Amino acid sequence: MQNHELRPETKRFLERQHGHFIGGAWLAEGEERIEVFNPATGSVIATTAAGGQADIDKVVAAARQAFAKPDWAGMSPSVRGKLLWRIADLIEQNGAQLAELEFLNNGKARDIIAQRDVPAAADVFRYFAGWATKIYGKTASLSRPTLHAYTLKEPLGVAGLIIPWNFPLLMAAWKLAPALAAGCSCILKPAEETPLTALRLVELVLEAGIPPGVVNLVTGYGHVVGAALAAHDGVDKVAFTGSTEVGKLIVRAAAGNLKKLSLELGGKSPTIILPDADLAAAKAAAAGSIFFNAGQVCAAGSRLFVHRSIFEDVVDAVAQRAKTIRVGAGDEPETEMGPLISKKHLERVDGYVQSGIGQGAEVLAGGSRLDRDGYFFKPTVLAGTAPHMSVVREEIFGPVLVSDSFDDLDEVAANANSSIYGLSASIWTQNVKAAHSLARKLQAGSILVNAGGGLDPNLPFGGYKQSGWGREFGEDGLELYLQTKSVVIGG
C-alpha cells in the first residue's frame, strides 16, 4: 500500500518524529534512530528513538513521581475504573487508525486486526475497569482475640512492561489494563519491530484522563532499554512477554533489587486428536491453531499428535489446508496469513525447517519461503520427525507444524509433556473420560477440549514449566500488580 492511500491521520502519524513518552510529553530530539519496517514489503515506514540508560533514568523518575502524586495515588477506585473504560472507548473510536498502523507495522490482515485485535484490546480495558472497584483485603481471626487484624491490597509501584511484536496493541493492553486497575504507574517498552500502535495507545491513555507520568513509554533495543528497565532499582515490578531466553535474562537482571516478576514466555503446544473426535472440526482447528498469525502465537499448536488409526487422514487434510491458505499482504483481498515480522525472523524460521529436512523430515506442505518481496513463509507441515530434532523441541514461532502418531493416552501424554514448555494443550475427543484423564495428565497452563481459541480476560492464562511465571487475566492477573499488607491493631 502506498502512503497516499492511507488515512490522513495515519499518514501524519507515520511522519512524526517518534520517541519516548515521559511524564505526558514526547521526547525525541538528537537520538540515534531505529527504522520501523512494513514486513509485507520490507520498506521503512517510520523511525523511532533508540533510547539509552539516561532515558530509563528519566522515565523511572517520572513514573515514581506520578505513582506518589495524589491525583493518581489518591484517585477513587470508581474514577479509576471510569478512566479505564474511557480508554476502551477511545481504542474503539480510533480503531480504524490503530488497525491501519498495526497492519502496516505487523503485516497481518487489516480485517483480522479490525475484527479481533482492536475489540479485544478494548475488552481487556473494560474487564479491568470493573476490577478497579473490586479490590479489597480481608479480616483475619488471630489466636490472640484481643488483636484486630486485616489485610490491605496495595499497588506494587512502578511497573516496567516489556512486550513482543506478535500482537503489539493487544500485548500493550494486556499489561497496561491490570497495572492501571491496581494503581501502579507504568513504563511500556514495545518491541523494537512494532512500536507504532503502542505509541498511539499511550496518547489515548492520556486523552482518557490518566494523569501525566502514570503511563510512559520508551522505545529502543531490548538489550539496551529493556535490560536497563529490568535492572533499575527504581522499578518495583517487571511484567514481560517474550522468549524464554530473554525471560531468563530478565530474571538475572531483576535480582539487584529483587523486583517482582511475571513472565509469559514461549510454548511448543500439542494438539492431540483421538480417533473418536469430530474430525472435521479437529482438522480445521489443528490447522487454525498453527497458521493463525503465521504461527507467531505463543500458544500456537505447533506439535500435532494423531491416533495411529487416523493419522494419515488427519495429517493429509491439515497439509491440504496448508496448501490452500492464501498468504499475502494485510491489505490484499482474501489474505488469510500475512508475513513473518522481520527478515531476521524469516531466516530463523527457514533455518529450522531446512535443518528438519536435512535431518530427514518429510515435507507434506510448504517448506520454503514465498518468492516475493516481504518476509513470507509458506504454511508448512512436516512428518517423519524424531523427538531429538530442533523442529520438534524448540519454539519456531512460525507457520510450521510437526506431526506424530500415538497408540494410547499414556504414550501421548508422555510425548506431549516431553518439552521444556507448558503453555497450552488441545484435546479433540468425544470421550468425556479420555478428555478428563488427559486434561489432568498434561503439563500446561491452559487445556482446551474440543475448542479453539479460549482466551478470555476472565480466565487465567500462563505457563507451566519454562513457559512462565504467573497468570495474566482474571483476579490472578490483577494480583500480579498488587501486594498484601497485614495490619494488626492491639486491643
Binding site for ligand NAP (CB under 6 A): 162-166, 189, 191-193, 221-223, 226-227, 230, 241-243, 246, 249-250, 264-267, 298, 395, 397, 423, 468
Residues 6+ apart with CB under 8 A from 76: none
Which neighbouring-strand residues pair with 48? 34
Helix (H/G/I), strand (E/B), else coil: 285 = helix
Which C-beta is closer to ligand NAP: that of 279 or that of 420? Answer: 420
Q: Judge contact between 38 and 104, C-beta under 8 A.
A: yes
Cell numbers found for residue 344: 531476521
Which C-beta is closer to ligand NAP: that of 225 or that of 389? Answer: 225
Q: Measure the CA–CA gap between 491 and 489, rounded to whole angstroms.
A: 7
Q: What is the dihedral of CA 173, 175, 181, 182, to 10 degrees?
A: 180
Which C-beta is closer to ligand NAP: that of 80 or that of 175? Answer: 175
User: HSE-up of 308 (CA within 13 Å, CB side)?
Assistant: 6
Which C-beta is closer to ligand NAP: that of 123 or that of 192? Answer: 192
- Rounded least distance, CB 80 to ligand NAP, Å: 25
Size of the chain, expressed as the number of residues it contains: 491
- Rounded least distance, CB 116 to ligand NAP, Å: 15
Active site residue 411: no
Cell numbers found for residue 24: 505526558
- Rounded least distance, CB 300 to ligand NAP, Å: 8
- Rounded least distance, CB 236 to ligand NAP, Å: 16
453 backbone φψ class: left, alpha, beta (φ>0; ψ -120 to 50): left
Q: Judge contact between 150 and 487, C-beta under 8 A.
A: yes
Q: Measure the CA–CA gap between 268 and 56, rounded to whole angstroms.
A: 34
Which C-beta is closer to ligand NAP: that of 113 or that of 306? Answer: 113
Nearest to 431 by CA among 210, 311, 273: 273
Active site residue 184: no
Number of neighbouring beta carbons within 10 Å of residue 60: 23
Which C-beta is closer to ligand NAP: that of 121 or that of 246? Answer: 246
Among 184, 186, 298, 479, the active-site one is 298
- Rounded least distance, CB 265 to ligand NAP, Å: 5
Task: Please state the separation of Cα 80 from the chain's center in Å.
Answer: 25
Q: Measure the CA–CA gap between 467 and 462, rounded to whole angstroms.
A: 7
- Rounded least distance, CB 457 to ligand NAP, Å: 14
The 10 Å CB-count burial string (b at 16+, else e) for 258-273 is ebbbbbbbbbbbbbbb
Task: Please state the separation of Cα 452 from the chain's center in Å.
Answer: 17
Which C-beta is closer to ligand NAP: that of 167 or that of 311? Answer: 167
Among 100, 192, 193, 264, the active-site one is 264
- Rounded least distance, CB 82 to ligand NAP, Å: 29
Q: Measure the CA–CA gap between 135 and 487, rounded to whole angstroms.
A: 16
Catalytic sites, residue numbers: 264, 298
